[in-house]
Amino acid sequence: MSERLSEVLDDIGVNCNIAYKRGTAHKLMELMYSGMYSLTGRDVIVNYFGSQIEGTTTLGLRSDRDIVCFPNYYNIIQDLNEWKPGPVNLLMIKDEAPSKGYVYLQYLRDDKPLPLEYPSNPYSIRDLKNRVLLSNTVIESTMCEGHTRNGPAVTHTTPGFRDTDIINGLVCKSWFTYAHPLQTMSREGQWPPKEIQTDAKNTGCFVVPVGCKESENVELEWRVSTSKVERSLVHYLNKTQIMCYILMKMILKEFINIKHYGVITSYICKTGLFHSVQGTHPLVWIESNLLTCLTICLMFLRKFILDRYCPHFIIPCNNLMQGRFSGDVHHGLLELIKDIINGKGEFLFCIETDHLASRLMAKFGMLCRPLKSKIDIWLRISGSMVIEMANCVSNCHRSVLEHIRNENSEVVMRTLFWLNFKLKVSRNVCKDIVRGKWCLFEPLLNTTLGCVIASRSIGQFNTVSLEALGWFSAGLDSDVSSSRLKLASAFYCAGDIQGSENFVIDVQNRYDETSVRNVCSCCQIKNADRFNYSNFDKKAYELNEKAIRVNVSLCVKFLRFEINCIPKELKYEMFRVTKGQFIVSANDVWMELIEVDSLPYLYFLKYKIYGCKGHYEEQQLALSELIRVTNTTPFLGHKETAFNLIGQCLEQENCVYDALRYYIKSLKIRPQVNAANIHICRVISTLISSRKADS
């Protein structure tokens, strides 16, 4: 049973290769987001925690992403000797919180290590002892529309995407007083190994904005987290131990959460695993002994529930079971876990997650129906990782553009030059392979700079300057299409129709619709599994992050400073915000830019190019393809913009009523803040004028 179970878990992606891919992908995203914050003047470091970066999840578990942002302008200290001039100094007060895993944060003066006397902002509160403390409600100042507070996290939910939990953590560089001493955390020949001491010294701890549920001062407390060290601990687990953790999470999902949702968390399961591994001989943890190892973990978990006491692995005085269940729930949980343990593996044939039961039955020859092969699953995981990285690239690029969108053209050019210089310096300094290739959105910034310069040269001399071409050249390989289409657009607006056609044809030759995924971080992906992207997944498995450049198509973004590189039909999108309309959602800030999906824009440019050349048949074919890809391509993030382009092309064909139909389709997607409102008014005016002329 253990051997077959191990094979099944390997088949669904619980292996070293997939874990490495997950870890590398999320490390790159960490670095990209941190780099983006640095480039936009925000001194923030981003870290990923949880199952995704640890490689302790499967497709069926659908684990959330846990992202912690660490602003560096806070200095969290445990002793006044650690005070520093400059940043906001906050002193941990550890002995007065109801649980040893929670602290208060007291403001100190910025000129000397003495308590601050008066509250300085809405989130600094004076307590009964006349101390000025930082309230954990400060997290609510970062919440936007579509965000909900979930404990210490701000949860951003987008249909079709994994939920993203964003936590604002404050770093304390010293080891927490109540945590295990470094020298006793590992023993000779036992787990964890002594190398963890180095990791702990380098990472320290951090606090997150959530108080103990049973506290009277819940808004003033901050929970101490040692997640950085715990992430290192997971990396010291072997394959069998990782498998046990994943099976525990499947049991949690399939059995415990159905009756007692939220009482036992995956974090408690992880803590139980740590105690199980530390409390047993290392030779026990082998794949042929997997079922026994899982039973050991469940017995540890049952003991914690029985005692109502689960000690935090690193801060043992912190009871993770505190206040979690009533008497009835307590008794029910004990009986449930007892039945699972006594079942001796029978429960495995009831786990539907990742079709575990069916796959296990197939290993014993008890199932005839076909199941998805392990290769297909590994490819799908790789494909999803590349899509997440591509969304990260798109988000980071847009964030930089949003940072500079309200400046004047001179400031924008200087800023883009400076950003490119900073990126080159940081890349040359980094010696680590992952760090050296972190900035996957750098080519997009090169293209933006090239387009801003080209817009100026077109406005002055009606040509794309050599300087602009140099920057365009540095950014061409950002992805399959977007940078090349921006260059084609610049050539078209400069009157170089042949140059524009050359790049449009180049993009068309690169854009294999069976292996290229359209990616836009605005897009709400629904029912993604019904689309067959096996060719894309295969390339993603082979190329990893390199697949972004050869198998991902990002949307094309324009700032208003690139206006002379934009065809007149697309310029309307720059003025879609009419009087009385306001952008109220943080998710809609992109509307102050022009964004269009690459594939529709490709065929729109072909339509315009062949119109200029007088090639009527090719022009009509391009229009047909524009309509086809807009209606059939999945995951388009700006379909309303494509419909507006189709409508204007149909107007040029004198198909006014068909054009009106597409504008109405555009409005159905986005009723407000849509250039279709302008087009409809123009079309109606044209129809009224023509009827008056006829009468």
For residue range 184-219, list pLDDT tens digits in order. 776 666 788 888 877 777 788 999 999 887 788 889
Residue 526 sits in the same domain as residue 592: no
pLDDT digits (tens, 9 = 90+) for 91-106: 999 877 667 789 999 9
pLDDT digits (tens, 9 = 90+) for 438-485: 789 999 999 999 999 999 999 999 999 999 999 999 999 999 999 999
Comparison of pLDDT for 580 and 475, the residue scoring more:
475
Q: What is the dihedral of CA 392, 508, 536, 20, to 10 degrees?
A: -40
SS3 label, residue 71:
strand
**pLDDT above 90 for 540:** yes
Q: Is 154 domain-assigned?
A: yes
Residue 509 sits in the same domain as residue 603: no
Q: Is 37 domain-assigned?
A: no
For the chain, the distance separating the N- and C-terminal CA atoms, rounded to the nearest angstrom, is 86
The whole domain housing 405 covers 372-559
pLDDT computed for residue 98 by the predictor: 65
Q: Is 527 domain-assigned?
A: yes
pLDDT computed for residue 178 by the predictor: 87
CATH no. for residue 631?
A: 1.25.40
Could you tell me if residue 654 is left (phi over 0), alpha (psi between -120 and 50 degrees) or otherwise beta? left
Percentage of the chain beyond pLDDT 90 is 66
pLDDT computed for residue 119 by the predictor: 85
SS3 label, residue 176:
coil
Residue 574 sits in the same domain as residue 606: yes
**pLDDT bucket at 344, cuts 50 / 70 / 90:** confident
CA gap 84, 280 in Å, rounded: 44
Alpha helix positions (H), 462-533: 466-475, 482-493, 497-510
Q: Is 461 domain-assigned?
A: yes
**pLDDT above 60 for 88:** yes
Task: Examine the fold and report which residue of 536, 559, 582 is the final residue of a domain before the chain moves on.
Answer: 559
Residue 138 sits in the same domain as residue 194: yes
Task: Examine the fold and report which residue of 202, 228, 254 is the final residue of a domain before the chain moves on.
Answer: 228
Residue 552 sits in the same domain as residue 593: no
Residue 522 sits in the same domain as residue 541: yes
Task: Examine the fold and report which residue of 228, 246, 265 is the final residue of a domain before the chain moves on.
Answer: 228
pLDDT digits (tens, 9 = 90+) for 19-71: 999 999 999 999 999 999 988 888 899 999 989 999 999 999 988 878 999 99
pLDDT computed for residue 198 by the predictor: 76
Calculate the alpha carbon distances from 141 to 106, 111, 145 in Å: 19, 27, 12
Q: Strand pairing partners for 103? A: 222
- Give the distance between the most distant pair of CA atoms in the chain: 99
Q: Is 631 domain-assigned?
A: yes
Residue 545 sits in the same domain as residue 668: no
DSSP 637-679: S-HHHHHHHHHHHHHHTT-HHHHHHHHHHHHHH-SSS-THHHH
CA gap 344, 145 in Å, rounded: 48
CA gap 86, 75 in Å, rounded: 9
Residue 627 sits in the same domain as residue 548: no
SS3 label, residue 482:
helix
Q: Is 113 domain-assigned?
A: yes
pLDDT digits (tens, 9 = 90+) for 231-256: 999 999 999 999 999 999 999 999 99
Contact between 337 and 305 (Cβ < 8 Å):
yes
Residue 381 sits in the same domain as residue 516: yes
Residue 532 sits in the same domain as residue 593: no
Handedness of CA 493, 499, 505, 507 (dihedral sign): negative
pLDDT computed for residue 551 by the predictor: 96
Where do we find the tokens 């520093």? 84
pLDDT digits (tens, 9 = 90+) for 360-412: 999 998 887 889 999 999 999 999 999 999 999 999 999 999 889 888 888 99
Residue 79 sits in the same domain as residue 180: yes
**Domains of the chain: total:** 3
Q: Is 582 domain-assigned?
A: yes
Residue 470 sits in the same domain as residue 536: yes
Q: Is 36 domain-assigned?
A: no
Angle between helices 497-510 and 598-613 in degrees, nearest 10: 140
Calculate the alpha carbon distances from 465 to 470, 490, 605 in Å: 9, 11, 21
pLDDT digits (tens, 9 = 90+) for 411-447: 999 999 998 888 877 776 666 656 666 789 999 999 9
Q: Strand pairing partners for 133? A: 106, 125
